[in-house]
């Protein structure tokens, strides 16, 4: 059982989400500054913010990713491919695509795989994560969507956009982890707001976490680190 994780190890799992449609440039700047201050793995920004984020974060070591077909997944495959190509041209290094949720729920598995595979091909070796939107799916659909994600060649299967009225759950992360091979990773996103949430998702099998609460989560991790340093009692099961 994972009981602790250091601030630095936890930061290396975080994709700091900057995706709300109402965010102003001032809001975006504040979020980018948080990402740089806490040295998270990456930011996940709106497509129109990619080039700006790349420029502002230059030299910080924070990667820039973006979303594709967001948030509903219902844009055409051709449109998703065009988004990926533009994202890479603007400097994104990872893309998080939304699966065609209706096609998945309809059992159109070949269409789902083809949609994913086209995005993966367009990404040209850059990491592609596939968002299932688990709040809109039952367990069978989550399990099948996870397997189809692997068939399409994506590097990650991801729980949620955070815009569909529900986010990641421990049970869904475990289900996703159980339905892909070791070569595919799981990203938990949506509702990951605390250090305890982060630990629970990592313990369930996630290796990347999407959150807009990076400062809160890492602040809690820093306090845990400080407490352990003061007592010298670092749990041998720490992540």
Q: Is 138 a catalytic residue?
A: no
Name the packing angle between helices 139-151 and 170-178 (round to 10°). 40
Beta strands 94-98; 63-68: pairing state: parallel
94 CB-near residues (< 8 Å, 6+ apart)? 15, 42, 44, 63, 65, 66, 126, 127, 128, 129
Q: How many Cα atoms occupy the beta-carbon half-sphere of 209 within 13 Å? A: 30
| Long-range contacts, 64-67 (Cβ 8 Å, 24+) | 64/91, 64/92, 64/93, 65/15, 65/92, 65/93, 65/94, 65/95, 65/96, 65/127, 66/92, 66/94, 66/95, 66/96, 67/19, 67/95, 67/96, 67/97, 67/98, 67/131, 67/161
Q: What three-state secondary structure class fits 169?
A: coil
* Beta bridge pairs of residue 44: 17, 65
Cα–Cα distance between 133 and 191 in angstroms, integer?
A: 13
Q: Is 187 a catalytic residue?
A: yes
Catalytic residue among 15, 49, 90, 158: 158
Q: Which of 142, 85, 155 is nearest to 116 (CA)?
A: 155
Q: Is 39 a catalytic residue?
A: no
Catalytic residue among 49, 96, 115, 225: 96
Q: What three-state secondary structure class fits 58?
A: coil
Catalytic residue among 15, 129, 187, 197: 187
Q: Which residues are catalytic?
A: 96, 158, 187
């Amino acid at each position: 059982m994972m009981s602790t994780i250091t601030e630095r190890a936890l930061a290396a799992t975080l994709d700091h989400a900057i995706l709300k449609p109402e965010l102003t440039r001032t809001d975006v700047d504040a979020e980018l500054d948080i990402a740089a201050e806490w040295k998270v793995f990456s930011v996940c920004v709106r497509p129109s913010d990619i080039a700006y984020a790349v420029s502002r974060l230059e030299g910080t070591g924070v990667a820039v990713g973006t979303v594709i077909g967001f948030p509903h997944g219902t844009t055409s495959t051709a449109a998703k491919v065009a988004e990926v190509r533009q994202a890479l041209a603007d400097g994104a290094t990872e893309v998080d695509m939304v699966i065609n949720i209706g096609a998945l729920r309809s059992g159109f598995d070949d269409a789902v795989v083809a949609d994913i595979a086209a995005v993966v091909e367009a990404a040209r070796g850059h990491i592609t994560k596939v968002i299932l939107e688990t709040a809109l799916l039952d367990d069978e659909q989550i399990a099948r969507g996870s397997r189809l994600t692997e068939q399409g060649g994506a590097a990650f299967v991801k729980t949620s956009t955070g815009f569909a009225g529900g986010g990641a759950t421990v049970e869904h992360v475990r289900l996703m982890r159980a339905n892909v091979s070791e070569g595919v990773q799981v990203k938990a996103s949506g509702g990951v707001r605390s250090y305890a949430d982060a630990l629970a998702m990592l313990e369930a099998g996630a290796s990347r976490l999407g959150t807009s609460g990076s400062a809160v989560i890492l602040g809690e991790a820093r306090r845990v680190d400080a407490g352990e340093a003061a007592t010298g009692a670092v749990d041998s099961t720490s992540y």
